[in-house]
Homo-oligomer: A and B are copies of this chain.
Amino acid sequence: MKNFLIIGHKAVTETFSLNDLPGAAGRMDILCRCVNAALFLSHDIRRDVCVFLVLKGEPSPPKIIRFDGSAVRYLSPDERSAASLIKKALEKKAQDFWTESTAGVSIRKGDLDDIIKELDMKVTYLREDGEDIRVNKFDPQSDRLFVLGDHLGLTEDEEKIILGCEHEMISVGPLSLHADHCIMLLHNEMDRGKHI
């Protein structure tokens, strides 16, 4: 299972308008594009992928929304489609356990460290000064949790959590890219490893 966790530091934790994802919804557009990049093939869904969105914006952070590729339905590639499933999840009461809002989409209270504990696997942290993915060869069959920041990167406290567990730091290329673009490059590297 490939797991992608993206932290949305401003992403709101209550229902929002689909017509202003970058503004009023706190850069929810970034998280929607990450869902797309993580889950979509040309005419298919990547069934071996889970996406965890950590929402840390007002009014009641932190909450986590999970998209499970093996079960997700009603998801199209456009941002608004992912946003509408996130919105439906936020309409549910978030508790200390997962509550399914639509097929394959669930919500709970929680933060980065809760997912790290829950998954209990090596963390691969995307950072510009990490080792290049073409040098640090992936084992595409191994279970992984990739952690990516939004436009604000990760806070010091979030980094401390990662440094406190089994982890590696990698980068996807020479330039600084959006999180969804990084996810595509990670997938491609693993796709190539699997299909050689």
Most chain B C-beta atoms within 10 Å of own C-beta, residue among A18, A37, A194? A37
Closest B residue to A22 by beta carbon equals B78
B176 adjacent to A42 (CB under 8 Å): yes
The winner among A151, A184, A191 for most chain B CB atoms within 10 A is A184
Instruction: Tell which of A91-99, A103-111, A167-175 binds the partner.
Output: A167-175
Is A14 engaged at the interface, CB distance under 8 Å to the other chain?
no
The 6 closest A-B pairs by CB, nearest first: A174-B195, A42-B176, A29-B78, A184-B184, A79-B79, A181-B184
Shortest A81–chain B CB gap in Å is: 8
Q: Is residue A73 within 8 Å, beta carbon to beta carbon, of the partner chain?
A: no
A77 touching B29, Cβ below 8 Å: yes
Tell yes or no: A178 within 8 A of B by CB: yes
**Chain A 182-196 per-residue mask, 1 if CB under 8 angstroms from chain B, else 0:** 001100100110110
Cα–Cα distance between A33 and B81 once the two chains are bound (Å): 14
Give the oligomeric copy count. 2
- Bound Cα distance from A76 to B33, whole angstroms: 13
| Residues of chain B contacted by A172 (CB below 8 angstroms) | 188
The reply on A177 being an interface residue by CB < 8 A is yes
Q: Which residues of B contact A191 (CB under 8 A)?
A: 173-175
Q: Is the CB of A78 within 8 A of B79?
A: yes
Instruction: Report chain B residues within 8 Å CB of A36.
Output: 33
A117 near B: Cβ within 8 Å? no
A-B contact pairs, 24 of them (CB 8 A): A19-B80, A21-B78, A22-B76, A22-B77, A22-B78, A22-B81, A29-B79, A29-B80, A30-B77, A33-B33, A33-B36, A43-B151, A43-B176, A172-B188, A173-B191, A174-B191, A174-B194, A175-B191, A175-B195, A177-B184, A181-B184, A184-B184, A184-B185, A185-B188
